Chain A
Amino acid sequence: MSTEKKNNDDAPAAPGGALKEAESRLHYAVRELSQSSWVITLLSVVVALVVGALLILATNPQVQATTGYFFAQPGDFFLTSFEVIRDAYSALFRGAVYDWQAATPDRAIRPITETLVNAVPLILAGLGIAIGFRSGMLNIGGQGQIILGATCAAFIGYAFNLPVGAHLLLALVGGALGGAIWGGIAGVLKAKTGANEVIVTIMLNNIALYLLAWLLRQQWFVQTGSNQPIAAPVEDSARLFGLLGTGFRLHAGILLAIAATVFVWWLLERSTLGFEFRAIGENPDAARTAGINVPKATALVLIIGGGLCGLGGAAHLLGTEYRLGAGIAGTLGFDAITVALLGRSKPLGTFLAGVLFGGLRAGGVLMQAQTGTPIDIVLVLQSVIVLLIAAPPLVRAIFFLPNPDGTAKSPRRRRLKDQQAAEAAQEPAPTQEVTK
C-alpha cells in the first residue's frame, strides 16, 4: 500500500514545462481514477455486458443467418447484431429499472420494485457471507444456511396459528435460528477442531439439500395431504406484508435488509465483538495473544453469518415464495457469495451489489420472456463481474489503463514484483515451520 502511495506522490514532480506538468497531472488523475474500486467495478460490469452480448450474438439464429451472406451484405450482419443486442439489453433494463413501454405508470415503475424484491435475500445472505470474509472465513455454506432458514420459517409459518405480528416475528426468528445452527455447525467445528470451514460448509450445503428432500416426503412436515414434494403455504399472519399494495410484490423484507445493513456496519466498525471479528480475520495469532477468545469469536462469526443467511432464506420464503419446495434456494447461496465479493465485504457495498444482481435477475426474466435469451446469462454476467473485480490489473490491462506504479511498462512491473518479494522475504512466516 505504502509503495503505491509513494509512487503516486513523486510522479507529478516530473521535470518539464507547464504542458508536461499538465500532462503529468492528467496522468496522475487517470492513475488515481484507475485505482478507484468504483471505476474497476464499473469497468467490470462493462466487460461482462460485452461478454454477454457476444454470447447472445453467437447463439442468435437471426444473426447466424446473416453470417451466411456476410461478405455479400456485411451491413445486414451489423444491423441485425445491433438490433438483437439493443432488444436484449433494453429488455434487461426495462425489466430491472423502468419500463417505458408499459401501459400504466404502475407497470412502468414495477421493475425497480421487482429488483428490490430479488435483492432482499441477496442482501441479507450477502451480508452474512461478508461478515465471514471480513473475519477471514470463507463461508461457502450460504446455500445450506438459506435452505435451513427457509425451511424453519416455512414450518413455523404454516404449522402454527399465532396472532399477526407474533407469527411473522417467530417465523423470522426461526429462520435466522435455522441458518445460525447450520452455520454454527461449521463454526463450532472450526473453533473446536480447526476443521476447514470451506469444506464443512460445502458438505453442509449438500446435506441440507437432502435433508430438505427428505422432509418434503414426510407428511408430518409438509401437511398438505398430497404426495407432492412441496409444503403447505404459510399463513397470511406469517407473511412479510406488502409495502406498495396490489400489483406490487415489494414487501417489508427490504426494510429488514436495510436494518441488517446498518446493523452489520455497526457490528463490524463500532462494536467490540466486531473488533474481535476483524482481528481474527486479519491475524488470528495476534488476536489470541491479545487475549481474544478466538474459538468463541470464530464460532460466533459463522453463527451470526449463518443467521443472516437464514434470515435471507426466511425473507425469501415469507415475502416472495410462500411455499417451500426443493428448489427454494435456487442459486441464492452462490449469488450471495458473488454479492459479498462485489460489495468488497463492506455493508453498503454489499447492499448495492445485492440491488445490482437483483436487478440483473429481474431484468433477466423480462429479457427471457421478450427476446428468448435464457436467464442463465445472468449467471455468466455475475461470474464475469466478480472474477474481474478480483483482478484489477486485468481490468486495467483490458482498458489500457496505467498500473498503480505509473505506466504499464514491464520493467516497472517487475520492480514492483521484486519489491513485494522483498517485503515477503522480510516476513519469515512460511518458513518458520521448518525450524519448529
Chain B
Amino acid sequence: MNINATLLGQSITFFVFVWFCMKFVWPPIMQALGERKKQIADGLAAGERGKHELELASKRAAEHLHEAKQKAADIIAQADKRAAQLVEEAKGTAKAEGDRMIAGAQASIAQETVRAKEALRSQVAGLAVAGAEKILRREIDAKAHADLLDAIKNEL
C-alpha cells in the first residue's frame, strides 16, 4: 500500500487508453449508431409511405372497379335499348313491307278483275253481235227490207 511510481504508470496507461478510445472506438460506433438510427427512421417513414400508397391504390382500384361496373351496366342498358329499338324498327319495316305487298296484290287483283271483266264484256258484245247476226241472218229478208237498205244507200 505504498504510493510509488505505479501511480505514473497507471496515469500514462489511462491516457493511452482514453486516446485510443477517443480515436478508434467512440467515433465509429457513434457514427454507425447515428447512421442506423437514421436508417431505421427512414425505413419506418418509407413503410408508412408505402402503407399510405397502398391505401390510396386500393381506393383507386375500388373506384376504377366501380366505374368499370357502371360503364358495363351502361353499355348493357344501351345495348338492350338498341336491340329493342332494332326489333321495333324491324317490326315496323316488316309490317310496312307486308302492307305494301298486300296493297300491291290487291291492286293487281283489282286490275285483273277489271281486265277480265273488260275481256268478258267485249266477248259478251261479240257473242251478242254474233248471236244477233245469226238471228238477224235468219230473219232478215233482203227483199222485205230493200226499201230500208235503199234508204241507207241514199243517205250515204
Does chain A bind chain B? no
